[in-house]
């Protein structure tokens, strides 16, 4: 086992492996939302099973409180939490919950009823808890590293929706005229999602932590006072021994507490919260229930969900072009608040517009969701020591 001290960090050259790490971050992002996106994207199947229970709206309402509540508790105790165990616990819970959704569907033979619906809601809550563990832990972990890693992770989150939407189109084409076509498609969805979650456990536990560039950034974070990376470094065969690094914090001479950090970044925190308030006010419940009947028929909600997910994915790469990246705190907040104009726009379009305008609005919703999320999460950690990034 290698022992390093604070004196080892000066002038070290960044090792190779950046693109391998970016690829792994993308897959981990994919696994962080693929299960939840599977549940959302087969909404037409759940509306067939549970027509009276508004599954798209209810499952989202069940998922979000557990995700937000768990994330707040984890954020409050961030400095005391083993990030490696947090992320592994999250991916394991995703794997177990996704597998149980598959088992529930097979056990009930794709039949509805209040019992299976309650079971589905419980598993949606588990997805929310797992999401809080994984997304918060991974974003905090990758904030120690270069911006391209967190951008790749966030792109992976969006890619999960695009992948599932593509699969939904293919399964609808393949099974539309077959007996129990929706049921077969749902089984395929969750079987693939279960495999992806298992792959994420293996990648994070064994491969990612041993990449040279990842070890470099985690070592650097440990030497700057971070305690959350010690388990990952130990798994890579490295022990750290830090000494006083006074004067290296660009913003504060000592570690700020959570309240101080929150107040300094209140606009970023509020902005990130408002991005998803606006998005979830429309997606996916409104798109399934309030868009009327159009020429596309049963394909209409599938096309809307697919357009949102694909454009959301594309938009997360826009900030890679430096002159297209929005960095002004005031401009970011104005852009985020202006998205609430989309809510009346959607209701007006659903009542008076045709399907072309609705597809355009849905695409713009995905564009602003992905773009603004990446801008906020890549800009917020700037200027802080690695021990504060998480």
pLDDT at 253: 45
pLDDT at 244: 45
H-helix or E-strand spanning residue 342: helix 342-352
Reference 224, options 238, 242, 239, 210; nearest CA is: 242
Reference 225, options 48, 388, 36; nearest CA is: 388
Map tokens 């994420």 to a residue: 200
- Separation between Cα atoms, residue 376 and residue 390, nearest integer Å: 14
Would you say the C-alpha torsion 305, 307, 313, 318 has a positive or negative sign? negative
pTM above 0.85, yes or no: no
Residue 294 has a CB neighbour count (10 Å cut-off) of 15
pLDDT at 166: 87
pLDDT at 361: 92
The length of the chain, given as a count of residues:
390
pLDDT at 384: 63
pLDDT at 250: 46
Give the pair of three-digit tokens for residue 56. Answer: 């798209």
**How do 2-5 and 238-241 pair as beta strands?**
parallel
Residue 232: strand, helix, or coil: helix
Q: What is the pLDDT along the chain (390 residues), one digit of tens a residue?
A: 454 544 444 445 667 788 899 999 999 999 998 998 888 888 778 888 888 888 878 888 898 889 888 988 887 776 677 888 999 999 999 999 999 999 998 888 777 788 889 999 999 999 999 999 998 889 888 877 887 888 899 889 888 888 888 888 888 787 777 777 778 888 888 899 999 999 999 999 999 988 888 888 888 777 766 666 666 667 666 765 544 444 444 444 456 666 777 788 888 889 988 998 888 888 876 776 655 566 777 778 888 888 998 998 899 888 888 888 888 889 999 999 999 999 999 888 888 878 888 889 999 999 999 899 988 888 876 766 655 555
The answer to whether 117 touches 88, Cβ cutoff 8 Å, is: no
pLDDT at 43: 77
- Separation between Cα atoms, residue 101 and residue 188, nearest integer Å: 12
Q: What are the start-end ranges of the H helices in the chain?
A: 18-41, 43-49, 55-76, 83-107, 114-142, 147-175, 181-202, 212-223, 230-235, 258-264, 266-280, 285-289, 299-315, 329-338, 342-352, 355-379, 386-389
pLDDT at 365: 93
- Separation between Cα atoms, residue 258 and residue 76, nearest integer Å: 7
How many Cα neighbours within 13 Å face the side chain of 49?
A: 25
- Separation between Cα atoms, residue 206 and residue 9, nearest integer Å: 25
pLDDT at 55: 83
pLDDT at 371: 92
The residues with which 3 forms a beta bridge, in sequence order, are: 239
């Amino acid at each position: 086992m290698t022992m390093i001290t604070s004196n080892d960090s000066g002038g070290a050259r960044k090792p190779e492996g950046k693109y391998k790490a970016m690829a792994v971050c993308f897959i981990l992002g994919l696994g962080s939302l693929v299960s939840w996106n599977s549940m959302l994207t087969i909404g037409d199947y759940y509306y067939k099973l549970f027509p009276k229970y508004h599954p798209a709206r209810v499952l989202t309402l069940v998922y979000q409180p557990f995700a937000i509540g768990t994330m707040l508790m984890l954020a409050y105790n961030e400095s005391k939490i083993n990030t490696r165990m947090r992320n592994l616990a999250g991916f394991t819970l995703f794997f177990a919950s996704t597998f149980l959704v598959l088992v529930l569907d097979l056990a009930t033979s794709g039949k509805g009823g209040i019992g299976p619906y309650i079971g589905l809601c419980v598993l949606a809550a588990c997805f929310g808890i797992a999401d809080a563990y994984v997304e918060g832990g991974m974003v905090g972990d990758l904030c120690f590293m270069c911006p391209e890693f967190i951008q790749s992770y966030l792109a992976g989150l969006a890619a999960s929706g695009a992948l599932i939407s593509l699969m939904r189109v293919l399964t609808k084409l393949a099974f539309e005229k077959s007996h129990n076509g929706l049921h077969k498609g749902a089984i395929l969805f969750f079987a693939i999602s279960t495999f992806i979650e298992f792959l994420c456990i293996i990648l994070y536990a064994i491969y990612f932590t041993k990449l040279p560039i990842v070890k470099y950034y985690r070592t650097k974070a440990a030497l700057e006072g971070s305690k959350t990376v010690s388990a990952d470094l130990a798994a890579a065969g490295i022990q750290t021994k830090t000494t006083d690094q006074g004067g290296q914090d660009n913003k504060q001479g000592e570690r700020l507490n959570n309240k101080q950090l929150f107040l300094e970044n209140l606009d970023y925190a509020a902005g990130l919260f408002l991005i998803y308030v606006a998005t979830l006010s429309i997606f996916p419940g409104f798109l399934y229930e309030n868009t009327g009947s159009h020429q596309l028929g049963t394909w209409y909600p599938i096309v809307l969900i697919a357009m949102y997910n694909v454009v959301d994915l594309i938009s997360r790469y826009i900030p890679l072009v430096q002159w297209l990246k929005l960095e002004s705190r005031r401009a970011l907040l104005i852009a985020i608040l202006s998205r609430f104009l989309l809510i009346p726009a959607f209701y007006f379009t659903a009542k008076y517009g045709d399907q072309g305008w609705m597809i355009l609005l849905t695409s713009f919703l995905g564009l602003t969701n992905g773009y603004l999320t990446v801008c906020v999460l890549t800009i917020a950690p700037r200027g802080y020591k690695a021990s504060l990034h998480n």
